[in-house]
Structures are given as structure tokens and as C-alpha cells.
Amino acid sequence: MGDRIDIKQLARRISQAAFLFLFFVLLVKTDYDGTNELRYPVKVFLDADLLVFLSSLVSAWKLPAALFLALLFLPVTVLFGRAFCGWVCPFGTLHHAVSFAGRKLDPERGVKTKGARWKFAVLLFFLGAALLGSQQAGLLDPISFLIRSLSLSVLPAVNHLLRGLLDWGFHLPWRPVSDVFDGAYTFLRAHFLSFFPARFHQAFLFFVLFFLLLALDRYRTRFFCRFVCPLGGLLGLLSRAGLLRLTRNDTCTRCMRCRGVCAGGANPHTEKNWSPSECVTCFNCSASCPEGALAWTFSVARRTDDRLDLRRRAALTAIAGGALSAAVLKTSPAAARPDPELVRPPGSRPEGEFLSRCVRCGECMKVCITGGLQPTLFSAGLEGIWTPQLVSRIGYCEYNCTLCGQVCPTSAIRKLPLAEKRKTVIGLAFVDPSRCIPFAQGTPCVVCEEHCPTPRKAIAFAERPGKGGRPVNVPQVLPELCIGCGICENKCPITDLAGIRVTCVGESRNPDNRLRLPAGPYSSLDSGISL
């Protein structure tokens, strides 16, 4: 071992590096790039995700065409086993790297343990929930998990550190050095840094979960892939019909090197118990065999006694548990009456349908041009945790922007044509007279009206006696015109709680969440307010 290059192992390493690099490039490119339509296929890893495909199919019954790319991995898996895990999955590659860094041989490594069955249980649990229309697979789907963790916590932290360093250099008292840091900043901002510092609620929680999963790799090699990953479970089930098989001839001296390097815990060292559902086809075993006793062949014949440690009763329990959990989650009050803060991005489907699709990958939050899309905590019920909501005080919905719908892998947020997006109502602004400056202080302001982007402004003026009896214009929202974009709330000069705020009433997607104001003489469009 080590002194000769194994071509299969080398190819696997190159593949891992290439896909990881591609993943990072696409993640950084999940951002406005000067045109209305994104030019890079930024969600392609999600499109290729068989778990997202299957669980969305079960929960929503309909899928966007792009997701059918995932079906490519049906033949791949039948041919090569869990090659996706070992060769493609960027989260798998990270786990692989953390697992092996500085620890070449580990006698426990290649032994299949009982815990391996848990990933099948996790998969079936999520599919059980999906049966009731609750898409929960994204919580542990590796691609969704990685995009969410990196977008919402790791990359913002990297940005923060880099910005801090560059700012420090910029403020050095010597101008030539300051200018060098300034140039570096300009370059990095154009190619790597986010345009504005990204800030997300619960960032630390996402980081802890991410860090925890990676840390577990030091306890067991590729811990997540072996014991937790529902996509790994799904591909593992398919791999049992796999054609690529590990065989061993009788030159084997039982040195057990293969056991010490196996990434998946697939029992490469035992005569009869090699486990195709655990093997991630990393080729470490055959590459490390000093005798050349291990070989790979394509064969229909089964040569292993390895069993799937998931009995029928356990499988049914997992499915029932998922379904029952979904049933309990759906009793949340949030399912009966919309939380006022739950302003969904434009193009979002009706809430039930939305929750049957959204995998909480965080793509929409990553791409949101103003950073206003934030992960929910409880506003969509626990069932909808980490789904997107617009927090206008952090960032508003830019009038001419349709990026969130472009990156959504499951079309929970529909991709809207720009003309339709501009007319899509996501909420309604309300003036709070106790805080709005012209109302409360009798002082001119109207910053909200100034920024209102609809061609006919959804904020009009009414004149009232202001400070010193002088007339002052106060804002009035015209509900027929307001689309709830939240720029008024975002730009309101009151630094903390704005004097005008958006709630979700009036959203196009929910006919029950309407404010049916009277037409005729009390309609704000006919009322003689100067427009």
C-alpha cells in the first residue's frame, strides 16, 4: 500500500475534489450577478438528489422537471452502488476528509455495526411524514444540510473574518498599505465575498449542528454517512441490487489492512459479509491490499450473506412514527391561522403545499439580494422550521428581483416571470400612528412613500395638522396597490421598530388571508386622497 498508485482510488479522489470544488463555486455563485436570470445552474446538486426527488414525490405528488436529473443516479447506483456517496456528495467528501485526516489505519473502521440500520429508519421516518404531506427530509438530507449550514452560518462567518481583516488593513494609518487592502477588498467583493455582510437568524445553531456532525467523524469514520444520512440509506437500499461486487481470492493473508481503511464500514475483510449497502465504493480496500487479493467485478450473482438489518416491524414502525409525527406537527395553531410575521417570498405556494415541498436548503436565503429571507423558528409552526420568511427590517423584497424562485429546487417558491412577480402580493403594510414620525411627532418624513416601488405608489398622503399647527403629510397605505414588499418598513428612518410594518395579510397565495375593505366611497382609490 501507499507505494503504488491505484487508479480507481485516484479517480475517486479526483472526482471528490472536483465535485467539492464545483459545489463551492456554485454556492458562491448563488448570488445576483448583474442580470435578472442566474447564469449558473446553482441548484444542480439538489436537482441530482434522489432523496429530494423521492420524498417530494411522496409528499407533493408533483415535481419540477429539473429534479428528474436525480433519476440519473438510479442506474449509477445499480451499476456502482453508493458511488454518489463516495464520489460525488460534497458533504460525504467533507466527512471523508475529517474522518481520515491524520488517521490512516483504524481497526474498527471497516466493521459494520448495528447502528448502520439507523439511516434506513431515518429515511423511512421522513417518507412516513411525507405520506402526510410534510416534507421533512431536508432536515438531514446531506445536500440541503450542507447548503443550509454553509450559506447561513459558515460563509457569513468567513465573510465576517475576511471583512474584519481587510477593514483593519484599510484603516492602517499608512496610505499605500491601506490602498493595497482596499484593492484586495474590491477584488474579493467582486469574486468571493457577499456584497453585503450576510446575517441570518439562528446562524450559531446551524454552525453547532454542522460542527457536531463533522466532529462525530472522529468517533466513527463517516459517522453521518454510515448511521444518519437518509440519502445514504436510500442509495444503500438500491445498492443491494448493485452489480459492482467485491470479491476476494485465496491469496489473502488476513492482514486486515482493508478493514482499517474502509470508509463505509462495509466489512471488506470478511469472506461472506461484505455489505453493498454500506460500501461507498471508495476503493480504499482493494488499493491497500498488499496481495492484490481484493477485486471488483460486475455480477448479478449474490455472493454475500450480508443482510439488511431492518426487519419489517422496524420499517413499519419508522414509517408510522414519521406519519404520526407529521400528524402531531400539523395540529399547530400556525396551520389554522397565519402568523402575521410569516411573509413568504413571492411565488410561494399555499402554505400546505409549500410545506409539502420546501426542503429548507437555504438556497433562497443565500440568493436573496437584500438578505431579507430568513429561516423561521416557530412562525410556520415547528413543522415549517427553517423555511424562508421575509423579515423586512433586515431586507425587503426587491421589486424587480425573481432570484428566490429561480433557485428553489422543489418549486415551493414558483419561478415567476418578472411581470407576474411585480403583481404578486406577499403582505400588506400598516402605518403605526404611535411611531410614524409625521403622525406621532407632527414632523415631515415620508421616506416610506419615497421608496414605494409600485408604478402607482401604494402609499399616499393625507394632510394633518403637524408641529406648531403647520400642515404635515402623513402616509396612508392603499391596500389595493400594496404588494407587501416591505421596502417601506426597511427604509423607515426609525432605527428599531419601524413606523410602518408589513404583515402577511392579503398575500396572493392564500384566499382566506385577505382584508376585504369596502369599495365605493370608502375605497382608498376613490377617496380623493391626492395621489
Buried b (16+ CB within 10 A) or exposed e, 459-495: bbbeeeebeeeeebbbbbbbbebbbbbbbbbbbbebe
The reply on whether position 169 binds other proteins by CB under 8 A is no
Helix (H, G, I), strand (E, B) or coil at 140: coil
Nearest to 78 by CA among 225, 240, 281: 240
The reply on whether position 296 binds other proteins by CB under 8 A is no
CA angle 303, 279, 282 (to 5 degrees): 120
Question: Looking only at residues 20 through 49 of this chain, which bind other proteins when binding is defined by CB under 8 A?
Answer: 32, 34-35
Shortest CB 189 distance to other proteins, Å: 8
Helix axes 230-239, 50-60, angle to 10 degrees: 100
Residue 147's H or E segment, with its range, is helix 142-149
- Smaller CB separation from other proteins, 193 or 323: 193
Of 455, 511, 520, 528, the residue at the interface with other proteins (CB under 8 A) is: 455
Helices (H), 256-311: 257-261, 284-288
The reply on whether position 108 binds other proteins by CB under 8 A is no
Tell me which DSSP letter residue 377 carries. S
- Smaller CB separation from other proteins, 213 or 500: 500
Question: For 259-403, where are the E strands, in sequence order?
Answer: 294-298, 373-375, 388-390
Shortest CB 171 distance to other proteins, Å: 7
Tell me which DSSP letter residue 120 carries. H
Query: Phi-psi category of 51—alpha, beta or left, where left has phi over 0 and alpha has psi -120 to 50?
Result: alpha
Of 51, 98, 342, 437, the residue at the interface with other proteins (CB under 8 A) is: 437
- Smaller CB separation from other proteins, 455 or 468: 455
Candidate segments 207-215, 266-274, 348-356, 435-443, binder of other proteins by CB under 8 A: 435-443
Shortest CB 478 distance to other proteins, Å: 12
Cα→Cα distances 96→16, 100, 166, 277, Å: 10, 6, 33, 17
Question: Looking only at residues 491 through 530 of this chain, which bind other proteins when binding is defined by CB under 8 A?
Answer: 491-493, 495, 530
Of 106, 309, 398, 432, the residue at the interface with other proteins (CB under 8 A) is: 398
- Smaller CB separation from other proteins, 295 or 531: 531
The reply on whether position 312 binds other proteins by CB under 8 A is no
Cα→Cα distances 410→30, 62, 382, Å: 16, 9, 20
The reply on whether position 406 binds other proteins by CB under 8 A is no
Candidate segments 95-103, 332-340, 399-407, 411-419, binder of other proteins by CB under 8 A: 399-407
Shortest CB 417 distance to other proteins, Å: 17
Of 444, 462, 514, 527, the residue at the interface with other proteins (CB under 8 A) is: 444
Give 502's strand partners. 429
Shortest CB 13 distance to other proteins, Å: 38
Nearest to 334 by CA among 385, 279, 295: 385
Q: How many residues does the chain have?
A: 531
Shortest CB 455 distance to other proteins, Å: 4
The reply on whether position 185 binds other proteins by CB under 8 A is yes
Of 457, 505, 507, 510, the residue at the interface with other proteins (CB under 8 A) is: 457
Which triple of cell numbers denotes residue 380?
A: 410556520
Q: How far apart are the first and last CA of the chain?
A: 80
- Smaller CB separation from other proteins, 290 or 453: 453
The reply on whether position 122 binds other proteins by CB under 8 A is no
Binding site residues, other proteins, CB under 8 A: 32, 34-35, 167, 170-171, 185-186, 189, 195, 369-370, 398-401, 437, 441, 443-447, 449-457, 461, 473, 491-493, 495, 530
